[in-house]
Chains A and B, each alone.
Chain A
Amino acid sequence: MRNANLHTRTTAFIAACTLLLALCAPPAGAENKLNIMTATTDLAALTQEIGGDRVEVESIARGYQDPHFVEAKPSFLLKLRHADLLVVVGLELEIGWLPPLISQSTNPKIQVGAPGYFDASRFARILEIPTGVVTRAEGDVHPLGNPHYWLDPDNGLRIAKGIQNKLSEMRPNDAAYFAQRYDSFEQRLKQAEQKWLAEMKPYGGRKIVTYHRSWPNFSDHFGLNVVGYVEPRPGIPPSPQHTVELMGMMKRDGVKVIVVEPYFDLKTPNAIARDTGAQVVVLMPSVGGEKEITDYFKLFDYDIAKLKQAFDATK
């Protein structure tokens, strides 16, 4: 009887200890690296710039993948489950895949509106916000504006500032570290920007055609003039009639460069190029689109080098 009582007591004690340990465990591990998931590789690159070795960053989408059409694979849930912070592009870019991932992640920290949900679009300058009546006769329109805003280095800097504030808020002890990382990033980006602008200067005002409307911020920043799209409407595959019209326009206006994202078929762009004497250039809209594009700087390095090549070849 007494023995049994003792046994119960021991069990209760062990249970209590386990419970206590379980409760204590999270604060003990709290000063580990921040676990950050981002929707796209560009946001991962920017977060890495600021977070340095204090964060662990991973992107859901790959750099060569169409960010509109990522699949909501359960393997992402395993990563989202432990995330402290989720950085998203917003503007409904991820509407086809991110909402179910967030709600199924069983992670209260990253739910929409929670402190660990970070919408980068709130910090960026957004273009192409539709005015007037918005219908899908315009294709897969984004009613909140063009979500490909990260392709403007100024926006990159704005987003980085936002990320710096968020990280400092989450890890006040590392605030100075993040501030220093931001300063360094700002300095390097400003320098690089001067170089990029100088490189693009000779081609200012050049007319180009792009496949999808991924480049308004890029062309705005670097002084290019996007005059047409291979897609008749966003998200609608090329149609023969539109292609003929586009070719006519390109010949009339002397448009010699067609910019294509890595996830689109090259058949139609190549056909247009053959007919108009233009050149097709596959530009990377995101970090990681090619192996060598390992950070935000190399993204612009790559794209600008490719563009220059194309412009020079079609002079």
Chain B
Amino acid sequence: MKRIAVLLALVFCSTAASAGQDPPAESKKDGPANQSSVSAPEEARIKALEDQVRTLAEEVVLLRGELNAMRDAKSFEPASSSRVLLASSHLEPGMVPSAAPPPVTASAAPDPALPQSAQTQTFGGATSNAKLLNPDISLIGDFIGTAGHNTVSPSRSLELHESEIGLQAIIDPYARADAFISFGETGVNVEEGYVTFTALPAGLLLKVGKMRADFGKVNTIHNHALPFIDRPLVTNNLVGGEDGIDDAGISLSRFLPAPKNWFLEGTAQVLRGDSADVFTANRRQDVSVVGHIRAYRDLNESTNIDLGVSYARGHNDAGLGNTTFNPSNFLTNLYAADATLRWKPLRRAIYHSFLFRSELFWSARDQLSPLDVFQTQHAFGLYSSAEYRVNRRWTLGGRFDRSGRATNASLTDTGFSGILTYWPSEFSQIRGQYRYGHLWDVPNDRFTNANEFMFQFLFVMGAHGAHPF
């Protein structure tokens, strides 16, 4: 260590010697212009040199302090910055070893002055540093149990509904990538896997890959981050159920000019056109498009509103297998509006919060009537939900559902839910939900009532993911 400090000091001296030529030239230029009395160039030069020496001395002290700190604190670099940037590395990048600490210490190892502990510490750090380049890995288990009566959409009594593996990392200075692979009861699905280019000009944000489309709010949220166990009725009836609009494509978003204190963001996405039962691409050119505009405003430091309008257009499967109509004439247009009000007092953020959210969906789906006539079904649905954090461990919630069916808008399902959530810690969650539904029973051609009780255990292992907002 000492040897390095000396070496660096030498380097600085040589830099100073070569750099010493420049400042006087500058001061010569400035001198006559700024000062009325003409100062001797020698004096200026000496002064510059003095300054230089002083800075260098400070630099050396700093470096020594850093080296000591590195030894004392036995700290190594956080995962995010695998490079070691000494405070003074801006002087001569080539001179300061830019590799990770291990090689530095390895070369200095013969120095008898070096404490033994520091050596072992750094060698231990070498192996863990290699692992630091691994992506952040997490697994979220989602176990759901259901009891009660539901003939329309029955779910299994007990299931490990989903185990979602998340892999997230910074790819290079220009991009980061996120992949979420969910293992369900029936198979594996890349729920999302995309690269985000964060360093584009003109304030553009580009995402490429498979992603949950920016259509409303609930469509973008992963199962484990929802404030309920199930998804709203309207999601199931109009927007593709649990998977929703989740497709391979390209997304471009940008902040838009907005009035003061408003945040306005526009997103445009082009997707392949295959999303659950909403969109089906019969031909390669049957891509779907999604547009979203989000407006956000802080009302005060604890309260804010979040508004959005969305549009999605794609082809559906209604015309498949029919000979009289061209299948590519069957489109589904979806419109949505969402509004969210959040309240969270900053001084008691972990104890109390309130969120109210409402989303409205309109679906215009081209299809054939039972008499084989081309028609467009206009269905409407909504949900409203509220959640209140009572204390650090308990949250109360409720949701109202109402939705027509995409293929038959005259049939309107209704429901409501009461939800109670318990958090043993930030990394696990136990939730119970009572759900009532007044649902259309297709085989029996009548409405039936569904009464169900569901419970859910969520557990998170691995990297600490960011909380969704």
Contacts and interface: CB of A to CB of B under 8 A. Distances in A.
B222 interface: no
Given A122-B77, A161-B62, A235-B426, 16 more contacts: A66-B349, A69-B467, A74-B306, A75-B261, A81-B203, A96-B466, A112-B170, A124-B69, A125-B72, A126-B75, A136-B461, A140-B425, A165-B62, A263-B347, A263-B350, A265-B348
Contacts of B298: 73, 75
B434 to A, nearest CB: 26
A161 B58 CA distance: 10
Nearest to A170: B90
Contacts, number: 150
A17 to B, nearest CB: 19
7 contacts: A73-B298, A81-B255, A106-B255, A111-B199, A113-B81, A123-B69, A265-B351
B80 to A, nearest CB: 5
A99 interface: yes
Secondary structure call for the A interface: loop
Nearest to A233: B425
B364 to A, nearest CB: 30
Contacts of B306: 74
B192 to A, nearest CB: 14
A119 interface: yes
A103 B198 contact: yes
A119 B81 contact: yes
B173 A74 contact: no
A262 B347 contact: yes
Contacts of A105: 198
Interface string A105-136: 11010011110010101111111010000001
A50 to B, nearest CB: 13
Contacts of A123: 66, 69, 87
A106 B198 contact: yes
Interface string B280-312: 000000000000001011100100101000000
A125 B66 CA distance: 9
Query: Would you list the 10 A-B pairs with minimal beta carbon distance, nearest first?
Result: A108-B199, A74-B263, A65-B346, A74-B296, A106-B203, A72-B469, A126-B75, A169-B90, A126-B73, A237-B392
Interface of A: 62, 64-66, 69, 71-75, 77-78, 81, 90-92, 95-100, 102-106, 108, 111-114, 117, 119, 121-127, 129, 136, 139-140, 144-145, 158, 161-162, 165, 169, 179, 235-237, 262-263, 265
A140 B463 CA distance: 11
Contacts of A99: 466
A69 to B, nearest CB: 5
Contact of B78 (A119, A237, A263): A119
B226 interface: no
Identify which of A98, A117, A122, A262 gathers the most chain B CB atoms within 10 Å of its CB. A122
Identify which of B55, B83, B346, B347 gathers the most chain A CB atoms within 10 Å of its CB. B346
A97 B467 contact: yes
A122 B205 CA distance: 29
Contacts of B80: 90, 112-113, 119
A100 B170 CA distance: 12
A144 B466 contact: no
Identify which of A91, A106, A235 gathers the most chain B CB atoms within 10 Å of its CB. A106
Interface in B198-225: 198-200, 203-205
Interface string B51-74: 000010000001001100100111
B202 to A, nearest CB: 9
Contacts of A91: 78
B26 to A, nearest CB: 11
B466 to A, nearest CB: 5
A90 B77 CA distance: 10
Contact of A136 (B73, B77, B391, B427): B427
B294 A140 contact: no
A101 to B, nearest CB: 9
B196 A103 contact: yes
B263 A125 contact: no
A65 B349 contact: yes
Given A75-B263, A123-B66, A64 B170 contact: no
A3 B31 CA distance: 57
Contact of A125 (B69, B465, B469): B69
B85 interface: yes
A78 B88 contact: no
Interface in B323-363: 344, 346-351
Contacts of A106: 198, 200, 203-205, 254-255
Given A106-B200, A145-B75, A72 B466 contact: yes
B425 A74 contact: no
Contacts of B294: 74
B66 A64 contact: no
B73 A97 contact: no
A113 to B, nearest CB: 6
Given A114-B173, A265-B351, A140 B81 contact: no
B28 interface: no
B469 A71 contact: yes
B198 A97 contact: no
A263 B348 contact: yes
Contacts of B198: 102-103, 105-106, 108, 111
Contacts of A90: 78, 80
A104 B253 CA distance: 10
A179 B425 contact: no
B73 A165 contact: no
A129 B75 CA distance: 7
Contacts of A74: 263, 265, 294, 296, 306, 469
Interface in B442-464: 461, 464
B161 interface: no
A136 B427 CA distance: 9
A65 B347 contact: yes
A62 B346 contact: yes
Contacts of B346: 62, 64-65, 263
Contacts of A81: 203, 255
B115 to A, nearest CB: 16
A90 B81 CA distance: 10
A239 B179 CA distance: 37
Contacts of A162: 87
A129 B199 CA distance: 33
B263 A78 contact: yes
B467 A77 contact: no
Nearest to B82: A113
B45 interface: no
Nearest to A155: B69
